[in-house]
Amino acid sequence: MSELARAAIRKLRTGVVPTWELARLSVGYDRIRLDLERSLDELGEQEHCGPMFVRGEWGTGKTHFLAYVRTAAARHWHASARIDLNARGMSLSHPQRFLSLIADSVQAGDQVGIQDVLHRLITITEVRQRVHEFSETIQAGDLGPAMRALCSEFESCGALGLANHAAWSVIRGADLSWSDDPSKRAKALSRIAALAGLCRAIGLKGLILILDEAETIDQLWNVRSRLAAYAVLGQLFEMKSLWCVLGSTLRFDRTVQSDLSGGILADASVSADARRFLHGWKERSYRVVEPPMIDRGSAGELAKAVSSLYQLAYALLPGDVEAVSARCVEDWMRNPVRNPRRLVRLLVHRLDAMRKLDPYEAT
């Protein structure tokens, strides 16, 4: 247990909450948990759920929130995928660039990557039949032939024939990422919809797509590039079996508001998808949530949880740990920037400082 706890502390030193300790270190998430469960149930029952924007500046717990969403998705039999957007290789205006990352980050149970998920489940006769049936629907699009090829290959040669099959290139989107042509954008979006439908076909309730750093939309070349990004969001938000959760800062809000104030909706060339997103944003139709605020009480709970974890990793005297924890909370309360990441890193740093180091001990 101490080795796993030490691995968790190493992550906390860098400001990252380890996934296996999310439950212990998620303070003030009771209301959020209920909201997430309602959204996941809505996606499972109605095959659609409106997007959620998670707004937060650095250190406010936005990344933790998004990780919590992914953990909640797994508990409720949903697949999830996550990408970190930027204005260069992973811009919202060019989904073909991040399609393969979505496919490779799809997580279902202990399997990560749509190739690993399918490779394992296609061996089950009932699942293989459902995949074949889905491959013949409109939603499957140009993934249909690839899925049928995999089913046929397994029935002919068994699992060994699937390892290096050419169909994986199509299912993973590797055949689109080389081009910035607008036609590839449409194909990429079609395949994201197909991936969501495929997740449902194999017995999951849907796909949660987490798009972090959405504020990098303000770094795109010009308004035309942003319009392409708005059109992508407009299509993603309408897809069946897909729920979009976007992490962003106020930069995203300011960018969209600036375009709206500039009269972008008066431009006749704006696509229907971009117009739908912009109208939805203007009318405040999308949910915007923030990570839970940490007050003195919850800061004490968080410090206690971190201290307990540190005790599991390194044997320290309980009284000493409690005293350091209390001082950290007091110092943190005096700082006007009271974000949880700062508290966690401060506490871990001070506990590290009071611990006598063994030169032969792995930290």
146 contacts 174 by C-beta, under 8 angstroms: no
The model carries a pTM of 0.87
Cα–Cα distances in Å, from 315 out to 117, 236, 323, 363?
40, 49, 15, 13
Express as a percent the part of the chain with pLDDT over 90: 65
150 contacts 118 by C-beta, under 8 angstroms: yes
Q: Is 60 exceeded by the pLDDT of residue 56?
A: yes
Q: Is 70 exceeded by the pLDDT of residue 358?
A: no
Q: Is 80 exceeded by the pLDDT of residue 318?
A: no
75 contacts 81 by C-beta, under 8 angstroms: no
pLDDT at 14: 87
Q: Is 90 exceeded by the pLDDT of residue 148?
A: yes
Q: Is 90 exceeded by the pLDDT of residue 270?
A: yes
pLDDT digits (tens, 9 = 90+) for 82-97: 999 998 889 999 999 9
153 contacts 162 by C-beta, under 8 angstroms: yes
pLDDT digits (tens, 9 = 90+) for 149-181: 999 988 888 877 788 888 999 999 988 887 788
Residue 224, phi-psi category: left (phi > 0), alpha (psi -120 to 50), beta (remainder): alpha
Helix or strand or coil: residue 229?
Answer: helix
Q: Is 60 exceeded by the pLDDT of residue 194?
A: yes
DSSP 8-state assignment for residue 265:
G
Q: Is 90 exceeded by the pLDDT of residue 239?
A: yes
